[in-house]
Amino acid sequence: MDSEALKKYSALHPKPAGLTLQYGTAGFRAEAQQLDHIMFRMGLLAVLRSKAVVSTIGIMVTASHNPEEDNGVKLVDPLGEMLNPSWEEYATQLANAEEQDLEKIISEICQKAAVNQHKDSSVFIGRDTRPSSEKLSQSAIDGISVLGGQYHDYGLVTTPQLHYLVCCQNTQGQYGKATLEGYYEKLSKAFAELIKQVNSGSGERQKQLKIDCANGIGALKLAEMKPYFPKEVLIHIYNDGSKEKLNHLCGADFVKVHQKPPRGLDMEPKERCCSLDGDADRIVYYYKDGDGLFHLIDGDKIATLISIFLKELLAKVGQTLKMAVVQTAYANGSSTRYLEETLKVPVHCVKTGVKHLHHKAQEFDVGVYFEANGHGTVLFSKAAESKIRQLAKEEKDDEKREAAKVLEHMIDLINQTVGDAISDMLVIEAILALKGLTVQQWDAVYADLPNRLLKVQVADRRVIDTTDAERRAVAPLGLQEKIDGLVKRYRLSRAFVRPSGTEDVVRIYAEADTQENADALAHEVSLAVYHLAGGRGAPPQP
């Protein structure tokens, strides 16, 4: 390590006095002007991580669905997965170190993580369309260069594309070609093979899709991908970033939270519409019915559609492959009931956060996971994948072989490294076309239970402790008993509370048979939290 170069460059990316940030599920996120030193130091860390695992590591500069003024960074591990939890701690230490301690902290990380400093290192870097992203990615490149790392700057990419590129690189091309063209070709080829079988007379209307791209990177990448699509695919891109601000009154997060269409997209009744978020790793669908009422189709319903389709195919193939759906406590109770009781698919509940869902989904031959916010994917075990590919080639029985082929195309269409809005959109479009379903028919598979999300400000969020995948509170004493008593008063109801991962608030979720009851239950639970968990400010109002 060249101490002089480190000192010199570190001084060009100084840490603001008194600022401490923590690496969480979403990496680092803050106002863009606070992040210059963080980017430089994450460049350093990526080199160390690369040397430790002797693989290419990714750096993605994005703050996803946050406002345009914010930015952030996350590191991508060798197979396109999120950064190993023990390294999240190193990231936090390195980010908050005083300048004079930087070299010492780097040496400590090398020692603890058995980093061989003489190994080569390689880093892939990508960024979203925020005004601050280019300069911040340059700061990360400075960090990579100081420690002598090799890097490839992919420039503007969606978050899932960077995950995909890293995985392709580290599997020596087995997962695909480590280029954007490779990504477009792999997905569009699988998609074209799937919809080849759809009867060409099945209504032009059905093939039209309006896409709100949140004024973000998704618009640029979908426009690049358009020439690769079969000509029957009619996609119309809205909120492409040419006029308005990123994520402002649009995008998947806005539509999910406000339960209304985004600005800049005119919906006709019964038209199929979807929204991506700012870095294109989440998607939600929606439509207006004949009476002009807005209907949201969230991650729970996406998981259900995919599960119905995969279950039918697996039954046709006739293999004993184990499939399961992984959800969090936020999943609507109706979806859980439908999956378990009607579809007879096992459902597992885990703590909130993509890494928990992804980790659990890896335990099955076929693991489907989606958060209600529209972030999710499907994982196929190595054994399941090779079995399916073998059947698609060698199975003598026509029906079985054809079903295996459809599964094989599905495997190629799905981005298994991470939730990917573009890939998920193509999966959904293919399933709707193959099953001949309208968006209303999909929505009618089950009716969501009315629900309400609230938050209560508290002096210290750490007073709340939970168990059973965050569905029950174990601290403060008496809170869970109080919630249990309140839940008993309403039909089909449940409620839970959990501390926010980022601020001193407690999040409350309640559902019940009517919206009125869900609202009342959520309010009563928020009062219980306010009184028993040290609420701040005025008590919650109904």
Q: Is 212 annotated as a binding residue?
A: no
Looking at every residue in the chain, the average pLDDT score rounds to 95
pTM of the model: 0.94
CATH of domain 3-156: 3.40.120.10
Q: Is 502 annotated as a binding residue?
A: yes
Average pLDDT rounded to a whole number, residues 487-513: 93
Choose among 306, 269, 527: nearest CA to 434: 306
User: Could you tell me the pLDDT band of residue 501, with boundaries at 50, 70 and 90?
Assistant: confident
**Which residues participate in catalysis according to the annotation?**
64
Q: Is 498 annotated as a binding residue?
A: yes
Average pLDDT rounded to a whole number, residues 376-380: 98
- Reply yes or no on whether the pLDDT at 398 is more than 90: yes
User: Could you tell me the pLDDT band of residue 205, with boundaries at 50, 70 and 90?
Assistant: very low
Average pLDDT rounded to a whole number, residues 148-159: 98
Which architecture does CATH list for 299-424+436-444? Answer: 3-Layer(aba) Sandwich (3.40)
What pLDDT sits at residue 199? Answer: 65
Q: Which amino acid is at 296?
A: L
Whether 3-156 shares its CATH topology with 183-296 is answered: yes
> Beta strand pairing status for 347-350 and 323-328?
parallel
- Reply yes or no on whether the pLDDT at 502 is more than 80: no
Q: Is 67 annotated as a binding residue?
A: no
Q: Is 372 annotated as a binding residue?
A: yes
What pLDDT sits at residue 206? Answer: 59
Q: What are the CA-CA distances from residue 184 to residues 79, 102, 191, 379 (Å)?
A: 19, 41, 10, 20
Average pLDDT rounded to a whole number, residues 273-286: 97
Q: CATH: 3.30.310.50, 3.40.30.10, 3.30.413.10, 3.10.180.10. Which one for 451-533?
A: 3.30.310.50
Q: What are the CA-CA distances from residue 301 to residues 122, 201, 304 (Å)?
A: 39, 27, 5
What pLDDT sits at residue 200? Answer: 56
Q: What is the pLDDT of residues 289-336, one digit of tens each?
A: 999 999 999 999 999 999 999 999 999 998 789 999 999 999 999 999
Average pLDDT rounded to a whole number, residues 21-43: 94
Segment (H or E) for 141: helix 133-146
Q: Is 373 annotated as a binding residue?
A: yes
Choose among 236, 273, 223: nearest CA to 251: 273
Tokens of 79: 């197979």
Choose among 148, 131, 196, 172: nearest CA to 43: 148
* Domain coordinates in residue numbering, the chain: 3-156, 183-296, 299-424+436-444, 451-533
Q: How far is it, in rounded angstroms, from Cα 367 to Cα 384?
A: 11
Q: Is 475 annotated as a binding residue?
A: no
